[in-house]
Amino acid sequence: MTSEASAPAPAPAAPGRIVLLTASHRVAPGLLSWPAWQTLRAADLVLCADAGHPQLPYLREAGVAVEHAAPTAQELVDACEGDRTVVVLPSGEGDQALTDGLARLAGSGRVQMPNLELLPGSYDLPGARLLDLVQVMDRIRLECPWSSQQTHKGLAKYGIEEAYELVEAIEDGDREELREELGDVLLQVVFHARIAQDDPEEPFSIDDVAGTIVEKLIHRHPHVFGDDTAETPEDVKAHWLRTKAIEKQRESATDGVPLGQPGLALAAKLSSRVRHADLDVPLPTGEGIGYELLAMAVRAEEAGVDPEAALRAAARTYRDAIRSAEHHTG
């Protein structure tokens, strides 16, 4: 046997590695994870088809050379020959044609595929989709003929409607409907904040709105963010009321009670204020159903029952009875 015949077959070339490096558009460009930066610096080739990719200026600043190219799946595989690592920065749409092409090559069985790796360079934090909502609302406010003309007063009725629809979804126990109605209420908040941003004299933004409620929540939860303690829900409520009283410095226990709310809810709220202020206020007497309803609402509130919710539940039962009667008479 000759030496030629006994020589071992040459080892197949190492297939190399393809890394698809993704990044969230909701995270500031350049804020990549350490593994992402390590991979970018060690790569033999970094490719990006989108010349306007938001990460490019930061990669150039960090000394990472990026080639503007949109290779086919086969070209990308060929570029990995010799155990080379090629990093691809997908566009915002994800470059589906490239990933589909790689999947077809891998499934064909005719190509020695490089190792494929999906490397998230940044992750969305909880609440990140709220940034999308703010961005969408901003564009609608600028470009939609109807939305661009809306005012706080013009939208007020929708806030009331959406709040009632949310309450109905809660009472129905429909989770899908609840999610949708919460979104509609959230839209009202974002819409009003965007309108406020255009005010020429006292503008504020959604960040100001969020900042205000964050400060309020932290201040009114000293048992969570401070040194106070609260072991029961009653302790928490006492903390809340005490802190709120100091903040508001109200002249009357009725200050801040919106008179435009439904009558039973208004009566219950006034009763609650009287109880927490330790006031001895006899109920007014007079003729008519209004005074009877007032007394019933106060009695319900003192018993820990929401009279508005109780009446609404009874009314829903009444509605069902009406439909049942209609069905039988029909």
CA-derived radius of gyration, the chain: 32
Distance CA 186, CA 177 (A): 14
Within 10 angstroms of residue 241's Cβ, the number of other Cβ atoms is: 13
pLDDT digits (tens, 9 = 90+) for 11-68: 556 789 999 999 888 888 889 999 999 999 999 999 999 999 999 999 999 999 999 9
Give domain 128-204's CATH superfamily.
MazG-like (1.10.287.1080)
Q: Please give the mean pLDDT across all residues of the chain.
A: 89
Mean pLDDT across 301-328: 92
pLDDT digits (tens, 9 = 90+) for 98-117: 989 999 998 988 888 999 99
The residue that leads in pLDDT, 79 or 242, is 79
Distance CA 36, CA 33 (A): 5
The counts of H helices and E strands in the chain are 14, 5
Question: Which pLDDT does position 10 carry in this prediction?
Answer: 55
- Res. 284 pLDDT band, cuts 50 70 90: very high
What per-residue string of b and e applies to 173-209 under the rule 16 or more CB within 10 Å gives b? eeeeeeeebeebeebbbbbbbbbbeeeeeeeeebeee
Residue extents of the structural domains in the chain: 17-122, 128-204, 261-329
Within its chain, how far is the Cα of 37 from the centroid? 29
The residue that leads in pLDDT, 166 or 230, is 166
Question: Which pLDDT does position 4 carry in this prediction?
Answer: 54
- Res. 78 pLDDT band, cuts 50 70 90: very high
pLDDT digits (tens, 9 = 90+) for 167-224: 999 988 999 999 999 999 999 999 999 999 999 999 999 999 999 999 999 988 888 8
Distance CA 230, CA 239 (A): 8
Q: What sign does the dihedral 260-258-237-175 (CA atoms) show?
A: positive
Question: Which pLDDT does position 1 carry in this prediction?
Answer: 45
| pTM (whole model) above 0.85 | no
Q: What sign does the dihedral 72-74-77-82 (CA atoms) show?
A: negative
Mean pLDDT across 266-272: 92
Distance CA 247, CA 70 (A): 60
- Domain 17-122 in this protein, CATH class: alpha beta
The residue that leads in pLDDT, 155 or 242, is 155
The set of residues, in sequence order, having a beta carbon less than 8 Å from that of 30 and lying 6+ positions away, is 55, 58, 61
Strands (E), 58-107: 67-68, 85-89
Mean pLDDT across 124-149: 94
The DSSP code for 155 is: H
